[in-house]
Structure 1
Amino acid sequence: MINEDTIVALATPSGAGAIAVIRLSGPKAISIADNSFRSIRKGKTLSSQKTHTIHLGHILDGERTIDEVLVSIFKNPNSYTGENVVEISCHGSNYIQQEIIQLFLRKGCRMATAGEFTLRAFLNGKLDLSQAEAVADLISSDNEASHQIAMQQMRGGFSSEIAKLREELLNFASLIELELDFAEEDVEFADRTQFKALVERITFVLKRLIDSFAVGNVIKNGIPVAIVGEPNVGKSTLLNALLNEERAIVSEIAGTTRDTIEDEISIGGIGFRFIDTAGIRETTDVVESIGIKKTFEKIDQAQVVVFLADSSNFKETSFLKSFRIEVEKVKNKYPLKPLLIVANKVDKLNDNQIGVVESEIPNIHLLSAKSGTGVEELKDKLLSFVNTGALRNNDTIVTNSRHYDSLLKAFEEIDHVKNGLESGISGDLLAIDIRQALYFFGEITGEITNDDLLGNIFANFCIGK
C-alpha cells in the first residue's frame, strides 16, 4: 500500500481562525514546498536545512505573495509518517488556506484521504495498528477518562501487553512445530508444564482485558441516564441543576416537556448523557402521548434510570404506598438497569417527614434541584455505577470493539489449547489452535491485516490526520 505520492491536507479544523496548519508528506514534500517558499533570509532553501527546524518566509505563486508563513521541516525517518513532512503555519483565512493547498496540488501533490497521514505512519512502522486507532480516540476524547485511556494506548501500553503475550506464545509454537519435524523420534521440545503455566497466564490476562471492555465502552461513549417521573416533579429543573445551565424549559404547568432533551457533562472524568423525558401520566393530549412513548424508548436505551418524585406528595400516606408500587413496576420492567430513586423539593419537608420518607423508601436520595441541595451527592452516586478502579490503577482498558472481538476469538482459541493440553492431544492439533490464537493477537497490533480492514479503520479519521 506504500506509494510514492506526496500528499497535502489541512491539518487544523476547517474554517477561519487565527492560524491554520497545512501538512505535506511524501518523498517530494520538502522540494515542492521549497519551490514556492521564499525565506526572509536571502538565498536560504528548505532543502538545505536540518530536520526539526522552523523557517520564516513567504509562500509565493509565481511573483504573487499569498501569505507570510512559518514552515516546519521533518526529514525521514524522523517524522510522524516516517516520510519527509512539511507543516506550513499560515494565517487562518479560508481563502489563504485554499490558495496554498491549490498551489501545492498544481506543483505535484494530491489531496490526502481520511487518515492517510496516520496510515502512512502505520505502514512505515512508526505506530502499530492499535496505537494508530488510539490517535483517532485521542482526537475525539471529550473527558478526562477517555483522554487518559487514549494516551496510554497511543504510548503502546495495550499493544506492548499483547505483543509480549504473542511473543511468548510464538516461542512455544516454534518448539511444537519443531516437534512435528521429529515426529518419528517421539521427542518433546516444548516443556508441557511451562506451556500450561503460560496458557494459564494468557487466559488470565485475556479475561482481564475482555472484562475491561465494559468499563472502556462506558468511558468512551458516555453513560446515558434517563430522568423519569410524573409531570411537574422537577425533571427539567434537575437537568438544569446537573448541567449548571438553563437547558430545559421550567414551568409550573404540568406536561411542559413533550419531547426528550439531552445534554452531556463530565463527572469525575466520566461522560454522562442526561435525558430529560416527558412526564409519565395518563393523557388524552396526542402530542404529550407521543412524548410519553418516547420516554419509554429512552428508558430502554439508558444504562441508568433516575426515578424522580415530588417530596411534597410524600406528606400523604396514600401517595407513599402508590409510589412504592410504581417503583416496583419500573424495577420489574427493567430488572437489569440500575435505578436511583430520587425525591425532589426536599425543602418542602420538615425533619419528621424526611424521617418517614427515608424509613418507608430505603436508599431514596433527597434533594432540591432548585436550590442545589443534594445535587453533588447525586453525581457521586451516579459515578459509583462506573468501576473506575482500573482507571485509577492505570490498568490497560479496552475501548475498541474491534480489539474486543479479536480478544474474544483469541480467548476461545487459547481455551482450545488449554483443553488440548489437559487431554494430551497431539502436537499437530495443538499447533493449529496456537496458530489461530497468534492470528487474532496479530490482528490487534497489525502484524496481520488486509486492505479492507485498514480502509475501514482509517476511513473514520479526519482528513489531515
Structure 2
Amino acid sequence: MKSDTIAAIATALSDAGIGIIRISGPEAIAVANRVVVNKKKEHTLKNWQTHTIHYGFVEENGTILDEVMVSVMKAPRSYTTEDTVEINCHGGVLLTKRVLEAVLHAGARMAEPGEFTKRAFLSGRIDLSEAEAVMDLIQAKNQFSMQASIKQLRGSVAEKVKSLRAALLYEIAFIESALDDPEHISTEGYSEKLGKITQKLLGEIGKLIASAEDGLLRKEGIRTVIVGKPNAGKSSLLNLLVGEERAIVTDIAGTTRDALEESIRLKGISLNIIDTAGIRSTDDVVEKIGVERAMQYAKEADLILYVVDSSRPLDENDRQIIEMIRDQKVIVLLNKSDLEAAVSKTDLQEAFGGREVSMIRTSAKKNAGIEEFEQLLEQMFFHGEIRSEDEVVITSMRHKEALCEAYDSLKMVQKSLEDDMPEDFYSIDLMSAYASLGRIIGEEVGDDLVNEIFSKFCMGK
C-alpha cells in the first residue's frame, strides 16, 4: 500500500456553490497547513483537533486564493483510515483547480481514480463488495439502484458471503482434521451430513444467483428495442415515453434511418430504449443499413416493443418481424387505437403461433396506454413483487459469476458424494467454492483485479 499523500477534487467540476479538495495520507495535515492560514495569516492547522471544521483562507506565495472552510479527520477515524483534510472552497472550475494546484505544489500527489476508496479497502475498513457499492451509489440510475447500493455499502452482501464461507470453512476444517488424524476423528455418517449441508448451501447460493436477474436489470436498466414496420408509430411512441420530441416524425415511410437511444424511468424502472428503423425490404442503401442494425439490436434486447399499426391488416412484412422476435420477451403495442381497428389481438395471437403474448392498445397521438404499459412492465420483469428490505439482491455481474463458480463447485461435491469418492475429493471442491466466494469480498483476488475495479471510479473518490 502506498504511503504517500494524495489529493483530488472530490466534487463535480462545475459552477457550483462549493468545491471540495480532499487530501489523504501521512502528510495530509502538514500539506494542508502549508496552504491554509487564519485571519492573521498564521499556519495553525497542524494544531487543530480531529473532526473539527475551521474558517480560514487558502494562500500560495503570499497571495490569498479563496476564503474556505477546512475539516480535519485524523487517522484512523476517516474514510481512508489515514489523516484526511477537506478544503471547502467556493465552487467553480477555475477556482477549484487553482486551490488543488496549490495543494499539489505543497507536497501532495494527484490521486488516481478511486484511490481514496482503494486505500479504505487496502486498510481493511471496507471489503471489495462495499467498495464497489460506493461507485454503484454514485452512478445509481434509479431508486432501486440507490437503495441496493446503500445496503451493499452497509455490508449486506458481505455478511451473507461471510456466512456462507464460514459454513464451508467449518466443513473443510473437519475433513482436513479427519484426514490428518483418522484414529481420533471418525467420518462415519459424515457423507450424509455433508450432503444435507451442501444442499442447503446450494439453495442459498442459487437464490442469490436468481436475484441477479432482477438486480442487474433494475440496476443497469432494461435494454428495450422498439421494432415495427415503417410508419407504425415507433418514433411517436419514443417521443411519448421520453416526454419530448426526440425523434423526427413524418408521414413519409423510412424517416428513421439510424437508431436513437434514450434512457427513461417508469415507476422506478430504468429503460434504455432504442428506436430503430422500420423493418422492410428496401433498395435504399442507407435505409438498408438501418434495417440491418434494427435486426441486430432486436437480437440483443431484454425486451422488444413491437409497434403495430392497428388501423392496417397484418401483412407479410409483419409476419417476418414476428418470426424474428418470436422467442424473445415481447410487448405488442397495438398503436393508433384512436382509428378504426383493422387488426385484433386474436389476429396477433395466431401470428405468434398461439403463444401467449402481452398486448396493449396504445395511441401515441392521444397519450393512451402508457399507464397499462408501466404496470405490465413491472409484472413481466419483476413479477409485481416488492422485495423484503432484508433480502440480499445481487446487482454485480462479477458477484454473480463468482457465485456461479461456487455453485458449480458445490455441485461437484454432490457428485463426489453420490459416487462415494474419498473425503479429499470433497475438500478440494469445498475449498474451490470457498475461494470463489472470497473473490466477492476481496479476500481471494489479485492486484490486477483490484486495480481494474478502482480504475472505474471517478477522480476524488
Length-normalised TM-score, structure 2: 0.91
Aligned AA (2:388): N
* Alignment pair present for 1:450 and 2:446: yes
Kept in 1: contact 2:36–2:43 (CA 8 A): no
Deviation string 1:62-102 (CA, Å, 9 cap, x unpaired) is 32111111111111111111111111111123332222222
Indicate how the Cα distance of structure 1 residues 201 and 46 shifts in structure 2: closer, same or farther if over 3 A, else same.
farther
The answer to whether structure 1 residue 402 and structure 2 residue 390 are counterparts is: no
1:249 is aligned to 2:244: no
Q: TM-score with structure 1 length normalisation?
A: 0.91
> In the alignment, which residue of structure 1 is the partner of 2:459?
463
Q: Specify which of 403, 427, 432 is matched with residue 431 of structure 1.
A: 427
Matched, 1:347 2:338: yes
When the two chains are superposed, the root-mean-square deviation of aligned CA atoms in Å is 2.3
- Aligned pair 1:90/2:89, yes or no? yes
Whole-Å Cα distance in 2 between the matches of residues 252 and 83 of structure 1?
64
Question: What are the residue-to-residue correspondences of 1:53-452 with 2, within 5 Å?
Answer: 53-184=52-183, 187-188=186-187, 192-313=191-312, 319-320=313-314, 322=315, 326-349=317-340, 353=341, 357-362=344-349, 364-387=359-382, 392-394=387-389, 395-452=391-448
Instruction: Give the Å deviation of 1:381.
Output: 2.1
Alpha-carbon spacing, 1:53–1:193, altered in 2? closer, same or farther (3 Å): farther
1:151-206 residue CA offsets vs partner (Å, 9 max, x unmatched): 21111111100101111221222122211221355623995554333222211011
What is the deviation of 1:462? 1.1
Q: Give the secondary structure class of the aligned counterpart of 2:280.
A: coil
CA distance in 2, matches of 1:360, 1:428: 62
Cα distance, 1:170–1:307 mapped onto 2, change above 3 Å: same
Cα distance in 2, alignment partners of residues 273 and 348 from structure 1: 29
Task: Please say if residues 172 and 190 of structure 1, whose CA atoms lie closer than 8 Å, have aligned partners that are also in contact.
Answer: no
Contact 1:178 1:189 in 2 (8 A): no
Q: Give, in whole Å, the separation in 2 of the partners of 1:74 and 1:445.
A: 27
Q: Which amino acid counterpart does residue 234 of structure 2 have in structure 1?
A: K
440-449 or 280-289, which deviates more:
280-289
| 1:218 to partner: Cα distance | 1.4
Residues 282/448 of structure 1: CA separation in 2 closer, same or farther (3 Å cut): closer
Deviates more, 1:117-126 or 1:439-448: 439-448
Q: 1:267 to 1:190 in 2, by over 3 A?
A: farther
Counterpart residue identity of residue 344, structure 1 = N
2:177/2:185 contact within 8 Å kept: no
CA contact (8 A) 1:176 1:190 kept: no
Contact kept in structure 1, 2:280 and 2:317, CA below 8 Å: no
Percent identity between the aligned chains? 38
Per the TM alignment, residue 458 of structure 1 is displaced from its structure 2 partner at its CA by 0.7
**Distance across 1 between alignment mates of 2:303 and 2:318:** 14
Contact persistence 2:403–2:437 (CA under 8 A): yes
In the TM superposition, residue 369 of structure 1 has moved relative to its aligned partner by 0.5
Change (3 A) 1:342 1:390: closer
Q: Hey, what's the Cα distance between the residues in 2 that align with 1:187 and 1:312?
A: 77
Residue correspondences, number? 452
Contact 1:267–1:383 (Cα < 8 Å) also in 2: no
Question: Partner letter of residue 447 of structure 2?
Answer: D
- Which amino acid letter does the alignment assign opposite residue 418 of structure 1? Q
The aligned amino acid for 1:34 is N
Moved more, 133-142 or 96-105: 96-105
Matches of 1:242 and 1:210, distance apart in 2:
32
The residue aligned with 1:316 is none
SS in 1 for 2:226: strand
Task: State the distance in 1 between where 2:359 and 2:124 align.
Answer: 55
Distance 1:334 1:52 in 2: 59
Provide closer, same or farther for how the CA distance between residues 186 and 83 of structure 1 changes in structure 2, counting only shifts above 3 A: closer
Report the secondary structure of 1:149's partner residue: helix
Q: Is the 8 A contact 2:279 2:321 kept in 1?
A: no
- The equivalent residue for 2:353 is none
Change in Cα spacing, 1:34 to 1:44, as seen in structure 2 (3 Å) is closer
Amino acid in structure 2 at the alignment position of 1:419: K
Greater alpha carbon shift after TM alignment, 165-174 vs 373-382: 373-382
Counterpart amino acid of residue 451 in structure 2 = G
